[in-house]
Every structure is written in C-alpha cells, then in structure tokens.
A and B are shown apart, each in its own frame.
Chain A
Amino acid sequence: TQLLEQSPQFLSIQEGENLTVYCNSSSVFSSLQWYRQEPGEGPVLLVTVVTGGEVKKLKRLTFQFGDARKDSSLHITAAQPGDTGLYLCAGTPGSNYQLIWGAGTKLIIKP
C-alpha cells in the first residue's frame, strides 16, 4: 500500500517566521502535487513537481521534489496570516490516474 506521510500534522507560528513542511513516502511517485485547503472549501492546486530534484517557486513558497521522487517539501518564507490553511500533498503512482493523498499539515499563522 502506498502511503504519503505529512509532517508536522499541526504547526502554529508567528507572522514573519519561516517554516518547512514535509511529505514522505517509501514509494516512488511519477509526480507530486501540493494543495491548500481552507475551511469549508475544496483543495486548490498550488504546484505539480515531476522531475527528481525539481524546485519550484511560487512567490514566498518553495517546493522541492526529492531526487528519488519519494518525498517533497514545502518551504514558506516570511509566513503571513493569509498562508493559514491545510496543506495537502498528493502523489501519482506511475501512470495511474489515482492520486494518493497525505493527511495534511494544518498551518496557522498568527498575526
């Protein structure tokens, strides 16, 4: 069974601090996605990483796909209250259309 483990499960920090959240697996994924979900809403796709070692930046968010394509990280610089939400990673195991989802990291940024 392929699993994606996200850590930490919960993170509460002050505005302006930096943070990193992780998405780890023992399995290889052909691609991995990061989503942000706000309460009462569906997840919104932030980024898709495909190549081992790939780094993508989205303003203050930096996403990295591990060299072996088994793990990924999301780093946020100078976090803002608007970054508050549930961050979910989801991986595609090969050419299968199904996404394997992590349980998410609940992030709270305090003003």
Chain B
Amino acid sequence: NAGVMQNPRHLVRRRGQEARLRCSPMKGHSHVYWYRQLPEEGLKFMVYLQKENIIDESGMPKERFSAEFPKEGPSILRIQQVVRGDSAAYFCASSRGTAQGKLFFGSGTQLSVL
C-alpha cells in the first residue's frame, strides 16, 4: 500500500533550464496538492488539482509555473526557465476527498538551481 510517491528526490538545474517534478498520489486518491517549503518555514500552497482539472492555482506564480494531473499517470509540476529563487523543497500531498486536514504527503523534491 504505497504512499504518495514523488520523484526525483533531488533535482539540480542550471538557471534557464526546465524542472519537472512528479507526484503519484496514494491509491484511491484523486485530489492532489502541491506545496513549496523554504528552509525553516512552513508550507506555502501552490495548486490544487483533481483528475484532469485545476481547481485552484492561486498560490502558483502566473509565469513559468504550470501543473497538471492527467487522467493517466502522475501529477506534474513544471517550472520553466528556473531561477535561483525557485530553489526549495516541493511537496505533493493527496487526499481521497477535499482536504479538511486528511492530507498524506510525499517525501518531497529538493530543487536546487545553480
């Protein structure tokens, strides 16, 4: 009974490259949330998706960032033309229904932009 799987665990990119972060939710979960965390800080909401739909992307920068959760396959958080300020830990969480706190988190992807 696998939990939320994120890959890669660590991703190093040079400025201007693209970063793709993947998240496979827990079995039976159709709601996916992406969060960003800087060292010594809490989590900042980025985007909430259900299968094939973006429900709320209010926490995601309008430029360079996009997210999808296709009918088949993992959810993808894509960052184009990365800059140093994008360096952070990106966590994905999933839930069976709307969150109300019952979120299960992956181990995160640590993105480092050189």
- Chain A: residues with CB nearer than 8 A to chain B? 6, 31-33, 40-45, 48, 88, 90, 92, 97-99, 101-104, 106
- Min Cβ gap B18→A in Å is 24
- Chain B: residues with CB nearer than 8 A to chain A? 4, 40-45, 48, 56, 91, 93, 98-108, 110
A42, A43, A44, A92: the one contacting B99 at CB < 8 Å is A92
Known: A41-B107, A41-B108, A42-B93. A97 touches B98 (CB 8 A): yes
- Min Cβ gap B8→A in Å is 13
Which DSSP category, helix, strand, loop or mixed, fits chain B's interface? loop
Cβ of A42 and Cβ of B98 under 8 Å apart?
no
- Min Cβ gap B29→A in Å is 14
Which residues from chain A contact B107 at a C-beta distance below 8 Å? 40-42
Known: A41-B108, A43-B105. A31 touches B100 (CB 8 A): yes
Residue of A32, A44, A92, A98 contacting most chain B CB atoms (<10 Å): A98
Which DSSP category, helix, strand, loop or mixed, fits chain A's interface? strand
Cβ of A98 and Cβ of B42 under 8 Å apart?
no
Known: A90-B101, A97-B48. 4 other contacts (CB 8 A): A40-B108, A90-B43, A92-B100, A103-B41
